[in-house]
Amino acid sequence: MDKLLLYAHYSARASIDGYVFHTLKHFRALGYEVVVASTSEVRDQAALARLAQLGCELQLVPNIGYDFYAWRSALLDRRAALNKLQSLVLLNSSVHGPFFSLSEFLDGCMSHGADVVGATLSREPKPHLQSYFFHFKPRVFRSEAFLHFWETLKPYADRQSTIDHHELGFSDYLQTCGFSLAAFHTAHDSLNPALKHPYLLMRKRLPFLKLRKLRKARHLLLQMRLRTRALLLKPGR
């Protein structure tokens, strides 16, 4: 396979929820090799069997450094395979989806002129690609600079330091290395677009929405289904 998804997973209940399988199934249907890098001690035999049935690999990683360190463990273990890839996606379990065509979305990532494409670009506190989704082209993940970032990545115990040095720092680092960044939605205010503008993201047919937002506002699920149906029935679709 020449396409790889590294999925950073965490569950306080040490389980794998149904929405995770829903996401993984769609990537597998598009020919992606899928590695679930989980910081949870998943021992549910039914969940493990379901992962195996989907053809996904589970890699248990230390519960340090949040998502970036989970990705680090899985990525560095597969560094020799990077030169064979055409597409690399990093995704985490903080989002639910796809609610719209994943194929359409990923084709857009591949055809985009940027080297690294995110779903959303936030300006909080400064411009950066939000770290729940990244798509990389070969020019990036085959470079020494890309591997250097992961090899020298330091784990942080607190969330804010992780955001400052990993999420914000990653976008800065990539641009410093000469890679171009873009997103399907760029915030034009100081609000977090993934949390504050879910309806706007839906109108742009972005396939993933923050689970945290859905859990806080369950009515959004019904509205989302209705709006999704309206969008799909819209003339020209």
Task: Please name each of the domains of the chain with its CATH number.
Answer: 3-191 (3.90.550.10)
Output the pLDDT for position 161: 87
Query: Residue 122: is it exposed, middle or buried by C-beta count within 10 angstroms (0-12/13-18/19+)?
Result: buried
Is the alpha carbon torsion for 127, 159, 214, 105 positive or negative? positive
Q: Cα angle vertex 226, ends 223, 232, to 5°?
A: 135
Is the C-alpha dihedral spanning 191, 197, 203, 205 positive or negative?
positive
Cis peptide preceding 98, ω within 30 of 0: yes
Query: Measured between alpha carbons, how far is residue 10 from residues 17, 41, 70, 171 in Å?
Result: 10, 9, 10, 23
The predicted structure's pLDDT at residue 204? 86
Residue 237: its pLDDT value, please? 45
CB 62 within 8 A of CB 69: yes
Backbone conformation region of residue 223, classed left if phi is above 0, alpha if psi is from -120 to 50, else beta: alpha
CA distances from 64 to 74, 155, 162, 170, 189 (A): 14, 6, 10, 18, 32
Query: If you write DSSP's letter for every residue of 183-195 in order, what string do you get?
Result: EEEE-SSSS-HHH
pLDDT per position in the chain (237 positions), as tens? 799 999 999 998 889 999 999 999 999 999 999 999 999 999 889 999 999 999 999 999 999 989 999 999 999 999 999 999 999 999 999 999 999 999 999 999 999 999 999 999 998 888 899 999 999 999 999 999 999 999 999 998 888 888 888 999 999 999 999 999 999 988 776 666 666 677 788 888 999 998 765 655 455 555 655 555 555 555 554
